[in-house]
């Protein structure tokens, strides 16, 4: 495995499971020290830390709920205190949930957009803490490119993150910081485990490879965007969905 990120420090939000876990492991494999952020599942975060250490990497687990602005500030301060710098920020924290307009309650809507607010202020903190020449990557969803029934609130909350990324790429550009977002298709995670089999089958059939995505499929693209090879890519919304068609 390449050690192209040796000497770098990465902060991955929502890193205890799924895409966040795979991303933390991949960035560590490439040589970065990793801050494994989690909100509730300390045991899972600790397992990620141990997996990184078992392969000779360095990681710290830091609890923070990114829907709470004071905890965002504390997260970045703790990361800086632990490692002395920050080069890569990956916004992965999120919640799932699809429902029709007719059945979407205010509480569910607010839960989705609380994450969106958290991403905005995590990006703001990242702009302050990420070193010149650093990398910022946010995880959106391929649903922002379609017209899926029941996806209005979820896709809408993610679409805002894409606009945040575009605008921030201009503001961060003078410091040579790249800012991009990844738009995954359906990925095998805890968030999608409860899908009905007919929905999973349909999602598989829409890809070019007749399978659902795996967390590492996204983590590998994050690693590329975090590397020097991606220095000329910024402000981009990168669809990573195995050729899935709407």
For the annotated catalytic residues, the residue numbers are 154
Number of alpha carbons in the 13 Å side-chain half-sphere of residue 245: 5
State residue 239 phi and psi, 5-degree precision.
-80, 125
State residue 157 phi and psi, 5-degree precision.
-65, -30
Per-residue 3-state assignment (H helix, E strand, C coil) for 132-200: CCCEEEEECCHHHHCCCCCCHHHHHHHHHHHHHHHHHHHHHHHHCCEEEEEEECCECCHHHCCCCHHHH
Distance CA 80, CA 222 (A): 22
State residue 180 phi and psi, 5-degree precision.
-140, 165
State residue 36 phi and psi, 5-degree precision.
-95, 100
- Work out the angle between the directed axes of helices 152-172 and 106-129 (0-180°, nearest 10): 10
Distance CA 240, CA 48 (A): 24
């Amino acid at each position: 495995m390449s050690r192209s990120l040796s000497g770098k420090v990465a902060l991955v939000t929502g890193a205890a499971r799924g895409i966040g876990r795979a991303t933390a492991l991949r960035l560590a494999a490439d040589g970065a020290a990793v801050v494994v952020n989690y909100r509730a599942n300390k045991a899972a975060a600790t397992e990620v830390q141990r997996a990184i250490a078992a392969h000779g990497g360095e990681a710290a687990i830091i609890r923070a709920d990114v829907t709470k602005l004071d905890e965002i500030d504390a997260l970045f301060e703790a990361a800086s205190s632990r490692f002395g710098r920050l080069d890569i920020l990956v916004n992965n924290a999120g919640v799932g949930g699809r429902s029709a307009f007719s059945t979407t309650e205010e509480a569910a809507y607010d839960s989705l957009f609380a994450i969106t607010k958290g991403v905005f202020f995590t990006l703001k903190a990242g702009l302050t803490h990420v070193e010149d020449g650093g990398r910022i990557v946010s995880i959106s969803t391929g649903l922002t490119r379609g017209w899926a029934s029941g996806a209005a609130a979820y896709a809408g909350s993610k679409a805002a993150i894409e606009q945040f990324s575009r605008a921030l790429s201009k503001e961060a550009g003078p410091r040579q910081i790249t800012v991009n977002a990844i738009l995954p298709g359906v990925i095998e995670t805890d968030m999608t485990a409860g899908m009905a089999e007919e929905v999973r089958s349909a999602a598989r059939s829409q890809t070019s490879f007749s399978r659902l995505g795996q967390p590492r499929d996204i983590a590998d693209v994050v690693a590329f965007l975090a590397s020097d090879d991606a220095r000329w890519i910024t402000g981009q919304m990168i669809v990573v969905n195995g050729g899935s068609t709407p």
